[in-house]
């Protein structure tokens, strides 16, 4: 893959990551509680910024960690069976998103086990300090590891193929784009938009977002398969 194509693949992976909703749900509830408890606007801004910063930092750490692991094991040349495995992972996670991501109930209830959801809700209610909001951002990304493993793996495998300077740019692009949805929602909330309208939008578009995330992963897997496996196989003939 050339540099431009690699960056497009990284950007697409990050946008798929951004369409996942657990961090978004936590941010919505955190903001609602903060406003509902009559905290100052400054406090609301502090908590949402800390949350987004926490989510961004955890994403950066995860993608850097996965990139480093692949780099240590494979250096710069990724064997084809790894690409093939990654394609399988993308398809598996894509289909799982179509089948399981949202519960078939009212609202935007996600796949996560109910005891974890209850724990997160209790933590959100107890959050009053920016440090707590920051750690909530870290844990909301970790809690969604089951789904974000697919875009992060592809992002990491693609970053390895870039020249050293571009690798840093790749990491930055992935991190910034993956938290772009959180940045948009936190700006919307802190600039005075009604939370119930944001939740209404999320609820009415949840099946579209679910379809788009799953389809995005499957399209990405087809692209990776053609560019990394099929083109090499044809070249060897």
Partner 1 sequence: MITTDIIDSEDSTNIKKYDRARLRASVMSCCLSVGCPEGQADTIANFVCNDIENWLTDKQEVTTKDLINKSTKFLEKYHTEASYFYEQKYLII
Among positions 196-225, residues that touch partner 1 (CB under 8 A) are 196, 199-200, 203
Q: Site for partner 1 (CB under 8 A): which residue of 1, 8, 61, 117?
A: 117
Backbone angles phi, psi at 102, to 5 degrees: -105, 145
Residue 135-174 contact track with partner 1, rule CB under 8 A, x = bound: ----------------------------------------
- Go through 87-123 and write b for each residue having 16 or more CB atoms within 10 A of its CB, e for each that does not: bebbbebbebbeeebbeeeeebebbbeeeebeebeeb
Q: Contact, 28 vs 140, CB < 8 A?
A: no
Give the Cα separation of 19 and 22 in Å (integer).
Answer: 10
Q: Site for partner 1 (CB under 8 A): which residue of 131, 172, 184, 194?
A: 194
Q: Please tell me whether residue 44 binds partner 1 under the rule CB under 8 A.
A: no
Tell me the closest approach of the beta carbon of residue 51 to partner 1, in angstroms. Answer: 14
Residue given tokens 């990304």 in the structure block: 141
Q: Site for partner 1 (CB under 8 A): which residue of 37, 80, 205, 232?
A: 37
Q: Site for partner 1 (CB under 8 A): which residue of 110, 152, 162, 179?
A: 110
Sequence-distant (6+) residues with CB within 8 A of 132 are: 123, 126
Q: Contact, 176 vs 57, CB < 8 A?
A: no
Among positions 76-105, residues that touch partner 1 (CB under 8 A) are 105
Q: Site for partner 1 (CB under 8 A): which residue of 6, 19, 28, 48?
A: 28
Name which of 8 and 117 has its Cβ closer to partner 1.
117
* String of DSSP letters for 32-56: HHHHHTT--HHHHHHHHHHHHHHHH
CA angle 116, 122, 124 (to 5 degrees): 100
Tell me the closest approach of the beta carbon of residue 32 to partner 1, in angstroms. Answer: 4
Residues contributing to the site for partner 1 (CB under 8 A)? 22, 25-26, 28-29, 32-33, 35-38, 105-110, 112, 114, 117-118, 120-121, 194-196, 199-200, 203
């Amino acid at each position: 893959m050339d540099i431009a194509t690699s960056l497009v693949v990284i950007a697409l992976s990050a946008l798929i990551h951004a369409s996942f909703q657990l961090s978004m749900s936590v941010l919505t509830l955190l903001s609602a509680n903060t406003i509902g408890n009559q905290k100052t606007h400054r406090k609301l801004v502090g908590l949402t910024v800390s949350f987004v910063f926490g989510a961004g930092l955890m994403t950066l750490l995860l993608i850097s960690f996965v990139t480093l692991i692949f780099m240590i094991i494979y250096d710069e040349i990724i064997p084809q069976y790894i690409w093939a495995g990654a394609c399988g992972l993308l398809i598996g996670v894509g289909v799982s998103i179509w089948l399981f991501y949202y519960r078939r109930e009212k609202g935007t209830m996600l796949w996560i086990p109910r005891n974890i959801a209850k724990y997160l809700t209790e933590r959100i209610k107890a959050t009053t300090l920016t440090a707590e909001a920051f750690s909530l951002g870290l844990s909301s990304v970790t809690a969604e590891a089951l789904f974000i493993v697919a875009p992060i793996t592809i992002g990491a495998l693609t970053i390895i193929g870039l020249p050293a300077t571009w690798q840093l740019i790749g990491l930055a692009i992935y991190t910034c784009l993956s938290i772009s949805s959180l940045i948009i929602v936190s700006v919307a909330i802190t600039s005075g938009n009604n939370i119930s309208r944001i939740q209404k939008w999320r609820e009415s578009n949840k099946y579209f977002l679910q379809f788009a995330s799953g389809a995005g992963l499957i399209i990405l897997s087809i692209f990776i398969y053609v560019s990394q496996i099929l083109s090499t196989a044809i070249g060897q003939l």
